[in-house]
Structure 1
Amino acid sequence: MDSVTLDRIDLEILDHLQKNSRMSNADLSRELGMAPSGVLERVKKLEQKGVLIQYTARVNPEAVNQNLLAFIFIKVADGLGCDETDRLLAAIEAVQEVHHITGEDCYLVKIRVASSNELMQLMRTAFRDIPNIISTRTTIVLETVKENQHIVIQRETQDDK
């Protein structure tokens, strides 16, 4: 997606919605000092432009027995950009993120499962079924200090220049 020009109000809307995506239009309007209809129109435009792409709920992984977080570095025979490998990795239910990376490996995959036994089963089944995988290196997270999806929004806009 190409960069979209956003003004100060758009950036404030994004900041508020990242902090609380359940914020009502009335509350958002009050925070911004704008009419609810104007705020709603701006939010809809941000959605249409592909700036706002999803509203989600964050679930405590431990509350649903997803206690083990692991990152897996994967080297594949066909290198970066193989649509089939991308698709197969992304289709694994426990996989939360798939990233193409530089360096010795081709992918960095984030996985969340219940236990080391479940991780081992996943490695023996789902990953083994992907034909282009040459090797994997797994890092298990002992403790998460910070984890969020919040994008830092630069406050300088076209209006400020």
Structure 2
Amino acid sequence: MDNYSIDDIDYRILQYIIEDSRLTQKEIGEKIHMTGQAVGARIRRMRELEIIEGYTVRWNPQKLGQNIHAFITVFLSSNKVHPPFQKFAQEHVNVAELHRVSGEGCYWMRVYAKDQEELSTFLDLLLEFGNYRVNLGMGKLK
């Protein structure tokens, strides 16, 4: 499964799903001139190949009172803290994304908080694993 490719039809199906995962297989089929059943078979294949890993929802954190959007670069204090840090980040409700990165820092996190106090409390918890750099989001452009 390491070497596989998708054809133009699979790519078009994928683009429709990325744009709106609520589309039915029949609706996608109508757009690309295929039956819903044929579209479903191609989607199943892409899931088996792990091209499609799952489905998600776009949401507006501010509507839920999460007004602070922070991008945090984490600098771990030692190699031994990687597993406990990963567990912490994966389980903490404020962490929306976690990426292991190369270059500056060890991890990149996207964090939402309702206010400065909640963000500060979260940052205090991070100090157990190392240091950090915070950049606050000023507005989403794309």
2:21–2:55 Cα contact (<8 Å) kept: yes
Aligned residues, how many? 142
Distance 2:131 2:56 in 1: 34
Contiguous gaps of at least 5 residues in structure 1: 147-161
Give runs of aligned pairs for residues 5-154 of structure 1, distance below 5 A. 5-79=5-79, 82-124=82-124, 126-128=125-127, 130=128, 133-146=129-142
Q: Which one has more relative contact order, counting CA pairs under 8 Å at least 6 apart?
A: 1
Contiguous gaps of at least 5 residues in structure 2: none
SS in 2 for 1:82: helix
Superposed CA offset, 1:79-119 (max 9, x none): 49933322222221111111122234211111011111110
1:21–1:55 Cα contact (<8 Å) kept: yes
TM-score (norm 1): 0.79
- Change in Cα spacing, 1:18 to 1:135, as seen in structure 2 (3 Å) is same
SS in 1 for 2:51: coil
Q: Cα RMSD (Å) of the superposition?
A: 2.0
1:96–1:112 Cα contact (<8 Å) kept: yes
Aligned to 1:153: none
2:100–2:107 Cα contact (<8 Å) kept: yes
Distance 2:35 2:19 in 1: 21
SS in 2 for 1:135: strand
Superposed CA offset, 1:12-43 (max 9, x none): 11001001100011111100101221111111
Percent identity among equivalent residues?
A: 23
- For residue 36 of structure 2, what is the amino acid of its counterpart? P
Superposed CA offset, 1:47-75 (max 9, x none): 12111111122111111111110011111
2:126–2:132 Cα contact (<8 Å) kept: no
- For residue 139 of structure 2, what is the amino acid of its counterpart? E
TM-score (norm 2): 0.89
Query: More helix by proportion, 1 or 2?
Result: 2
Aligned to 1:158: none
